[in-house]
Each structure stands twice: as structure tokens, then as C-alpha cells.
């Protein structure tokens, strides 16, 4: 079974997933990493791991959907069963979401539905939260709002500053994202409305 990872940035989540595949914890292959940024470190990590690394330049396309169609052509070539968004900073078109419904995962650095958007860690810290966390969810038609697969809390201590909190949150991300992917690959996730049921083995 083939997985594709979409990433725009550092790719530390991608790396955690690569490591979990290499350890045999996820019984699937990452066949493809797609980025909308030519300088994404994620592309280097992919190449280093022997994974096809694809840069798709958004400027080459007149609409979001055209960009997504190009991405889909890569996914279809590899028969990809799961699309993993790992710091992918582009919204997907309804065309793409429909086509891969309940087969696109995202990770968000807060306990959704709190602190949606691009600065979930800082926003939780600024708000004075005592607890934040990480959410892995399926993508649906609304931003950061799809059915929740896994969540894990992270305590915010008085001594924390945004950078220390970020470190804690990332540590948890690197743990639960591979876990969620493993559950999907084992066929143990069932989406019933807003709820994701995790079947026991």
C-alpha cells in the first residue's frame, strides 16, 4: 500500500513517519512526497530516504483545482491509498477533498476545535491555556474541522515560552501521527458522521 505525504516546510513529521515505516511499524510505503515549495526541507528528507520528491509550482496553475489535478495525477500513478498532510500550507480544492474523502489526514498543533489556523501553538500560549495538545483528523470541506482520529494533551507550565511549548507539541506530533497512519493502514478506522471509530484488532 502506498502513502503520499504533502509538506511545505521542515518535514519533521515526515521524518517521524519515514522512521516508523523503516522500523516496520507502518506496513506501507511512502511512495511520494509532494511540496508546493521548492526550498522545503521535506523534499531533501524524501530524497535522502529514497522517496520520489515532487515539487509542484503553484504559479504554473490558474486555479487551486488545476494544481490539485496535477497532484492527483501523481497519486494515481502510484495507486496511493492515503494522503498525509504534514505541514502542507495550501488549502485543498473541493475537487481533491471529494476524490479522497476520508483518505486525507492532517495534523494540527492544538486540541481542535480550539485554536484553528496557522499559529495554534502560539495562540494557545498567548491565551494562557494550561493544557493544549495535538489533533490528527481527516480533512473535510471546512478548515481544521474534519472527523478527529486521535488527540493527545500537552501541559503548559508557567515556565513555558512559545519555543519550549513548540518543542513539547512537536514531540507529541511525532508520536501520534505515525500511530494514526498505522491505524488507517491496518483498516481499523471507521468514519461515522463526525466520529471516527477505532476498531480493536
Give contact residues for ligand GRF (rule: CB under 6 A).
Answer: 7, 9-14, 86-87, 107-109, 173
Determine the 3-state secondary structure of 60 from DSSP: helix
Kindly tell me which of 8 and 31 has the beta carbon lying closer to ligand GRF. 8
d(CA 3, CA 9): 18
User: What ranges in the chain are assigned the alpha helix state H?
Assistant: 12-22, 41-48, 64-77, 94-99, 120-127, 162-185
> What end-to-end distance do the CA atoms of the chain give, in Å?
19
Q: Closest separation between CB of residue 130 and ligand GRF, Å?
A: 20
Q: Cell numbers of 96, please?
A: 481533491
Q: Residue number with the shortest CB distance to ligand GRF?
A: 87
Q: Closest separation between CB of residue 89 and ligand GRF, Å?
A: 8
Kindly tell me which of 47 and 197 has the beta carbon lying closer to ligand GRF. 47
Which residues are part of the catalytic machinery?
108
Q: Closest separation between CB of residue 46 and ligand GRF, Å?
A: 12
Kindly tell me which of 87 and 146 has the beta carbon lying closer to ligand GRF. 87
Q: Which residue has the cell 519515514?
A: 18
Amino acid at each position: 500500500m502506498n502513502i503520499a505525504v504533502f509538506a511545505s516546510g521542515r518535514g519533521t513529521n515526515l521524518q517521524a513517519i519515514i522512521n516508523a515505516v523503516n522500523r516496520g511499524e507502518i506496513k506501507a510505503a511512502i511512495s511520494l512526497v509532494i511540496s508546493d515549495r521548492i526550498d522545503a526541507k521535506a523534499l531533501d528528507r524524501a530524497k535522502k530516504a529514497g522517496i520520489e520528491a515532487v515539487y509542484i509550482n503553484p504559479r504554473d496553475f490558474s486555479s487551486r483545482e488545476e494544481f490539485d489535478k496535477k497532484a492527483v495525477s501523481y497519486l494515481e500513478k502510484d495507486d496511493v491509498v492515503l494522503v498525509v498532510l504534514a505541514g502542507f500550507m495550501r488549502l485543498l480544492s473541493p475537487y481533491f477533498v471529494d476524490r479522497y474523502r476520508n483518505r486525507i489526514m492532517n495534523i494540527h498543533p492544538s486540541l481542535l476545535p480550539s485554536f484553528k489556523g496557522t499559529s495554534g501553538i502560539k495562540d494557545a500560549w498567548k491565551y494562557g491555556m494550561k493544557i493544549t495538545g495535538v489533533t490528527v483528523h481527516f480533512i473535510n470541506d471546512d478548515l481544521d474541522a474534519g472527523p478527529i482520529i486521535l488527540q493527545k494533551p500537552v501541559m503548559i507550565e508557567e515556565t513555558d515560552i512559545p519555543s519550549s511549548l513548540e518543542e513539547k507539541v512537536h514531540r507529541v506530533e511525532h508520536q501520534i501521527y505515525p500511530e494514526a497512519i498505522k491505524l488507517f493502514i491496518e483498516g481499523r478506522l471507521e468514519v461515522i458522521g463526525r466520529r471516527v471509530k477505532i476498531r480493536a484488532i
